[in-house]
Amino acid sequence: MLLRFITTTHQLNWASLYYFTKHTRPKAQPHREKTRAKAISDDKSGKIAKSDQEQEQKQQQENLKKKIELEKLRALQPKMHTWSSFYETHIPQTKKIPKTIYLSLNEQPEGRRKHYKKFVQPPIDITEECNQKFEIKQHTYDDPFAQPKRAGLIAVKVGMTAQWDKWGYRHALTVLQLDNNQVVQVVKNDTYTGLQIGAGAVNIKTLKKPQIGHFLKANIPPKKYIKEFPITPENVLPVGYMLTARHFTPGQFIDIQGISTGKGFGGTVKRHNFKTQPATHGNSLCHRQLGSTGQRQDPGRVFKGKKMPGHLGSDKVTCEGIQIYRIDAVRQLIYIKGSVPGKPGSIVYLRDSWKVQKKNKDLLNFPTLAVENGKEYAKEIVMEAPLEDPELQETHENDFPKAGEDAED
């Protein structure tokens, strides 16, 4: 009523209206506010305590579930043995084995280089146990224009060595070792088919939940490295199948992909094969310099992509058309002609050469070599040497003097 009186009898004054609203406000009741705040805080604290209990129970259930899954994965892992027992059972004592290749982490002496520690492989062969339940049938291609694709392998670069053939020629070889390559997943689509290959051993405690579920679904031990290879649909392999060094054949050509050795910051002479500047005739302190990098006022800038000093190495490199010289089926070693990118201990990916399919076609086993029970296979396979000396110069009958010519001369 008072507000109506003020607005009707007097001209509306904002100051008086503010005074009225301020002094006619109901008085605060602090005791009620305290009780209300206490009730709200009690309600919140109760809800928080309840939510904390629920979270703890949920976390306990998740931990229990993860513990069960880890126990299942541990049961899938092969039992570890010492390398000495592996030598006694698999390798004849007459052969000398380089210890730098086959030492595990526990048996490595102090002071060994760090990159060797990356290479860890169970010394027992579990291929027969894994492949007993699978039946693989090999097939051939009658179509000369067919372009089949097989699965590749994941290998560890061990180092380099050399061997001589029967003609006395020395072949520089790179040694690669397989580490339990196993099919983890088959990826199928309307237009794509691929095989996911896993290799290496990994500590189960370092796995994340998606990785645990991924390996449990495949029912295989966890793998450290995983790589997917595109294949043709007829060359699909079952999940859990173990691929060995016999997947490849000596004499065939493969493509190898890896990370090249890092060399840090390199100059143009080393990085881009620039020639050096003159060593004399007034040149001082500029022998390995880049030189001029631009022109005059027009264009007035340095073009993009100019070869300059910079980071050298640590790039993804693919070596194409490299030939396999030898295969050791017992130690799962593959000997490659020539060099392979990366340092000893680095991971490389092997697959059939795409550019040399015609030469490979008669040597490959599709989808892989199907091992028959009871049949003995060669432990070591070496590429056949040529029938004739490759560097022997051909001679024609006219190169030799006929009988009687020397006497006439």
Judged by DSSP in three states, 83 sits in helix
pLDDT in tens, 173-214: 999 999 889 999 999 998 999 999 999 888 888 888 888 889
**Dihedral (Cα; 224, 256, 98, 314), 10-degree rounding:** -70
In terms of Cα–Cα distance, which of 382, 385, 246, 404 is closest to 325? Answer: 382
Instruction: Inform me whether the pLDDT recorded for 233 exceeds 60.
Output: yes
Q: Name the least confident of 27-41, 44-58, 97-111, 164-178.
A: 97-111
227: exposed, middle or buried (Cβ count in 10 Å: 0-12, 13-18, 19+): buried
b/e code 381-406 from CB counts within 10 Å (16+ = b) = bebeeeeeeeeeeeeeeeeeeeeeee
Q: Name the least confident of 137-146, 273-282, 301-310.
A: 137-146
Q: Are 180 and 119 in contact, with CB atoms under 8 Å apart?
A: no
Q: In the structure encoding, which two tokens stand for residue 206, read together?
A: 């370092």
Instruction: Inform me whether the pLDDT recorded for 21 exceeds 60.
Output: no
Instruction: Inform me whether the pLDDT recorded for 43 exceeds 80.
Output: no
Percent of the chain residues topping a pLDDT of 70: 72
- What does DSSP assign to residue 246? G
* Cα dihedral 275, 281, 282, 284 sign: positive
Q: How confident is the model at residue 127 (pLDDT cuts 50, 70, 90)?
A: confident
Overall pTM > 0.85: no
pLDDT for position 80: 43
**Amino acid, single-letter form, for residue 189:** N
Instruction: Inform me whether the pLDDT recorded for 296 exceeds 80.
Output: yes
Q: Are 352 and 360 in contact, with CB atoms under 8 Å apart?
A: yes
Cα–Cα distance, 105 to 222 (Å, whole number):
19
pLDDT for position 192: 94
pLDDT for position 256: 96
- Higher pLDDT: 49 or 363? It is 363
Q: How confident is the model at residue 28 (pLDDT cuts 50, 70, 90)?
A: low
Give me the mean pLDDT over the 101-114 stretch. 41
pLDDT in tens, 234-276: 999 999 999 999 999 999 999 999 999 999 999 999 999 999 9
Give me the mean pLDDT over the 140-165 stretch. 90
pLDDT for position 112: 45
Q: How confident is the model at residue 31 (pLDDT cuts 50, 70, 90)?
A: low
**Within its chain, how far is the Cα of 404 from the centroid?**
71
Cα–Cα distance, 73 to 89 (Å, whole number):
27
Instruction: Inform me whether the pLDDT recorded for 318 exceeds 70.
Output: yes
> CB-side exposure of 176: number of CA atoms within 13 Å?
31
The DSSP-derived string for 278-301 is PSSTT--S-TT-------BTTB-S
Instruction: Inform me whether the pLDDT recorded for 61 exceeds 90.
Output: no
Going along 329-378, which residue ranges are E strands?
333-337, 347-352
User: Partners of 162 in the beta sheet?
Assistant: 172
Percent of the chain residues topping a pLDDT of 90: 37
Q: Which phi and psi angles does 159 have, rounded to 5°?
A: 165, -160
